[in-house]
Chains A and B, each alone.
Chain A
Amino acid sequence: MKQMWLTAKLDIVESLRARWFAIYTGVFGGLVALLFLFGLTESRVLGFIGLSRLLVTYIQLTMAILPIFVLITTVRSVAGDREAGVFEYLLSLPVSLSAWYWGKLIGRYLMIFLPVFLAMTAAVIIAVLRAIEVPWGMFAYYTALIAALSACFLGIAMLISAIARSTDVAQGAAFMTWLVLLLFLDLILLGVMIQGRIAAETAIAIALANPLQVFRTAALSLFDPQLIVLGPAAYLILDTFGTRPYQMFALFYPTLLGVGCASLGYWLFKRGDLP
């Protein structure tokens, strides 16, 4: 356990000094600042107003930015470290592979989750100071959703890093993964259904399996029960499962998917060549 925390700490220290982390933190901190600057809390769109309007915009932007950011920076960092000889040296120290792998994952998880969470928390603090009503339930659920989103894409990124032997291949695979998930979002899926005449059940299954779609549906389900801004697959999903069970599914499924991918990555990592 001590080794795992030491490895996590090492990854945190390395991340704090990395350029990607500065950009990542700047992007999310900047987003909150911009949303306040443009007076988003005073505007009303589709019934969203006040901080809920800001949070729903923030979560939408997070869902667009975080997955690709996590995928690319993680595979670049892990595969890059392997190519540059960091693994050769650090894995010559007496650390078990499980402590190394899971420690690295925990460290990275904190560095991914905390800036996004802290930026959202900063928005809440500003709202409290400005006497704007805070939708606490929404804040709590979005926090859990970001935690699940981070776990999901970090797990996928660790799996890609374990499979790919070079930074170029790892980056390419990460980008393709993101692109495939993006292509199977609700509205695009609808087009595919019309064009290809695939069964509705198949489209729903694809939508349920796609973590990007799961997050998108869950994030808007809190506010848009009619789902005007969502597509038909999301509407059917919520109609079938109900809003509350689906919101729970949106937390557990991506987390399990991330943990599953990370576990498969660990299995591949420990049985192959390390550097």
Chain B
Amino acid sequence: MIRCQNLVKTFRRARVLDGVDLTIEGGERVALIGSNGAGKTTLIRCLLGEYAHEGQITIDGLSPRQARAEVLGRIGFVPQLPPPLKMPVGQLIEFAAAISNAEAETITHLARRLGLDVDALAARPFNRLSGGMKQKLLIAIALGREARLLIMDEPAANLDPAARRIFFDLLAERLQTATMLISSHRLDEVAPLVNRVIELDMGKIVLDDKVADDVSLSGRMRCHLVVRRAEPALAKALAAWHFSADDTGTRWQGEVAGADRLRFLGTISRYVAIIKALDWREEGEA
């Protein structure tokens, strides 16, 4: 699907991509990780045909630079930072659908599934939405097309747990039809979503590894948590995950998306001193 051969990108004297050789086959879910300045965004922009570069890139045998419209017609992209567009939400959906030969209704439907009230927001300028709302809309636009390659730069960073769970469901629906490249500077953010990890450092690939992908993207974890005493900060954190407590505020239960289990553990790890018991199992397990 994606072939990069000796990919080099230089900005003035800085060599940001330094001879990257990379092959990603159809159906793979790849985490692109690395610290700030490692070259992740530059690689993504090269794949999108936005940067002139040395070496070769082909997507399905076509150059994203030479055959832009054809290649980009197969790619759904979610940027890390939403663009400061002033156009209203309704017009952005119409524009993206028209230019991508997609159905505006499909995008709207996906946005609604992610919890975005598109009808109420249709007239609001995109740049006036909250960070989470913008992210949901950009995800809906990327997934609302017949994209065979999904390139996402920290796609779930601004989403609340409920929206993340739906986002994972949406990705699970595309597992058979799309290749995914998910960029993040933290592996734990994306590890449950992928079956391959590529780490960039100083413009070179320093790690290329397969990972176990036993975690189902659409799976659910049923979780019970007992704490020594009611703790307002923990209660607030668990409420964000839509957990409910008993009258004493010491027994909590709720549901965590399978792909979000590492993130959930990260959240409760801050309160580990007051956790008495933690029981969680995948739904369907005895």
Contacts and interface: CB of A to CB of B under 8 A. Distances in A.
Contact of B83 (A17, A84, A96, A274): A84
A73 B68 CA distance: 29
A89 B79 contact: yes
A88 B69 contact: no
B50 A273 contact: yes
A93 B84 contact: no
B125 A17 contact: yes
A17 B128 CA distance: 12
A10 B77 contact: no
B85 to A, nearest CB: 6
A274 B99 contact: no
Contacts of B96: 93
Contacts of B77: 89, 92
Interface string A3-26: 100100110011001100000000
B206 interface: no
Nearest to B73: A94
A86 interface: yes
A14 B126 CA distance: 11
Given A88-B45, A93-B99, A17 B79 contact: no
Question: Which of B49, B51, B69, B71: most chain A CB closer than 10 A?
Answer: B69
B81 to A, nearest CB: 5
B58 to A, nearest CB: 17
B86 A275 contact: no
A85 B99 contact: no
A271 B52 contact: yes
Contacts of B91: 13
Contacts of B86: 13-14, 17-18
Contacts of B125: 17
B59 to A, nearest CB: 12
Given A6-B95, A13-B91, A86 B72 contact: no
Interface in A76-93: 84-93
A18 B96 CA distance: 21
Interface string A86-128: 1111111111110000000000000000000000000000000
A100 B59 CA distance: 22
A90 B84 CA distance: 11
Interface residues of B, number: 32
B83 A85 contact: yes
Interface string A251-275: 0000000000000000000011111
A3 B52 CA distance: 23
Nearest to A18: B86
A78 to B, nearest CB: 14
Contacts of B71: 94
A17 B126 CA distance: 12
Contacts of B151: 92
B48 A91 contact: yes
Given A6-B99, A273-B52, A92 B87 contact: no
A88 B85 contact: no
Interface in B88-120: 91, 95-96, 98-101
30 contacts: A2-B98, A10-B87, A10-B95, A17-B86, A84-B83, A84-B84, A85-B83, A85-B84, A86-B84, A88-B45, A88-B79, A89-B79, A89-B82, A89-B85, A89-B138, A92-B48, A92-B75, A92-B151, A94-B69, A94-B71, A94-B73, A94-B99, A95-B69, A95-B72, A271-B52, A272-B52, A273-B45, A273-B52, A274-B49, A274-B50
Going nearest first, the 7 A-B pairs with the smallest beta carbon separation are: A94-B73, A94-B72, A92-B77, A89-B83, A17-B86, A86-B83, A274-B50
Interface of B: 45, 48-52, 68-73, 75, 77, 79, 81-87, 91, 95-96, 98-101, 125, 138, 151
